[in-house]
């Protein structure tokens, strides 16, 4: 199983500066990253997945990220980027099946890969769309297909950049419930704070590229959120509400 360890992270691009203290994420943890737009959430994911190169020291099970071959990385972690797209009219089934690439080590998918893909498509309520062309789906449907594609990698860590972006309430709840049940580590920037508070157990609060706090579910207070987002936050019966 994969433990994520950040020994040092210091990244600069133009005016933007992202700096994190040493951190660890144990196997199976459900970690939400909260912060304003531009606080560094997506950049952090790009650094953790090796899409951006900095002088960072990121280890997966004692292995330095930079030293892990790309196909091996895809078995350790999967990423759902904010702007996922596919050109050409591939079917939903094909798109999800492509997620098996690293698990089959680049060989043609076998019978069990097809079975696994079908299963996932059923679980994410995509059965009726399986033969449709990905490009003809609505934004929310495409998002769920891309999520299925990422899950199909069966990686040990899931980096999901706002997994419920453009999803309706029912599908958002279904997906967070699904992520809560999984044994995989989930690391995910989330915008809906109440939803995050309900389904995640650990929170990184980012502000201007700095880690404001690294807290458990019980330590996530109105004061911290208020500081993170520069708004008034009150907590009534476990639900946060926000005002200017």
Partner 1 sequence: MKPLLFTLLGVAFIIALFSGATAINPFAMSNIEQEILLSLRLPRVLFSAVIGGMLALSGSVYQLTLKNPLADSFTTGTASSAALGAVLGIACGLPVPLVPVLALITGLCGLMMVYRLSISDGVINPVTMILAGVVVNIVASAVISFSKFYFEESLSSIVFWLMGGFFIVDWTRLIVCALLLAISFVLLQRISLQLNLLAFDEASARTMGIDVARLRRFSFVLATLLVAVAVSHTGIIGFVGLITPHVARSLYGSDMKQNLTASTLLGALLLMLADAGARSIIPGGAELPVGIITALLGGVFFLYLLRTRRERLWHG
**Interacting residue ranges for partner 1, rule: CB under 8 A:** 46, 49-51, 70-71, 73-75, 77-79, 81, 83-91, 94, 98-99, 101-102, 106-108, 146, 149, 153, 159
Letter string b/e over residues 95-122, b meaning 16 or more CB atoms within 10 A of that residue's CB: bbbebbbbbeeeeebeeebeebbeebbe
Q: Which of 209, 161, 224, 191 is nearest to 38 (CA)?
A: 209
Q: How far is the CB of 48 from partner 1 (least distance, A)?
A: 10
Overall residue count recorded for the chain in this entry: 244
Nearer to partner 1, 90 or 229 (CB): 90
Nearer to partner 1, 37 or 83 (CB): 83
Q: How far is the CB of 203 from partner 1 (least distance, A)?
A: 24
Q: Positive or negative, the Cα torsion across 116, 121, 127, 130? A: negative
Q: How far is the CB of 223 from partner 1 (least distance, A)?
A: 35
Nearer to partner 1, 31 or 205 (CB): 31
Q: How far is the CB of 90 from partner 1 (least distance, A)?
A: 5
**For the chain, what is the largest distance between any 2 Cα atoms, rounded to a whole number of angstroms?**
55
């Amino acid at each position: 199983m994969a433990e994520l360890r950040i020994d040092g992270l210091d990244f600069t691009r133009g005016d933007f500066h992202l700096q994190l203290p040493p951190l660890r994420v144990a196997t199976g943890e459900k970690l939400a990253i909260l912060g304003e737009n531009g606080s560094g959430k997506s950049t952090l994911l790009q650094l953790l997945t090796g899409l951006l190169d900095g002088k960072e020291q990121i280890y997966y099970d004692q292995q330095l990220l930079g030293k892990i071959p790309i196909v091996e990385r895809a078995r350790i972690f999967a990423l759902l980027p904010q702007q996922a797209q596919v050109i050409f009219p591939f079917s939903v089934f094909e798109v999800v099946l492509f997620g098996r690439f690293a698990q089959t080590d680049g060989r043609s998918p076998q019978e069990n890969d097809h079975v696994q893909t079908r299963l996932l498509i059923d679980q994410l309520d995509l059965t009726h769309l399986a033969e449709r062309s990905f490009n003809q789906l609505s934004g929310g449907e495409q998002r769920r297909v891309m999520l299925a594609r990422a899950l199909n990698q069966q990686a040990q860590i899931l980096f999901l950049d706002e997994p419920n972006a453009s999803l309706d309430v029912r599908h958002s709840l279904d997906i967070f419930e699904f992520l809560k049940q999984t044994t995989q580590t989930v690391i995910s920037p989330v915008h809906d704070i109440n939803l995050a508070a309900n389904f995640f157990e650990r929170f990184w609060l980012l502000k201007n590229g700095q880690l404001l706090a690294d807290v458990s579910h019980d330590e996530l207070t109105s004061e911290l959120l208020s500081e993170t987002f520069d708004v008034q936050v009150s907590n009534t019966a476990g639900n946060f509400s926000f005002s200017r």
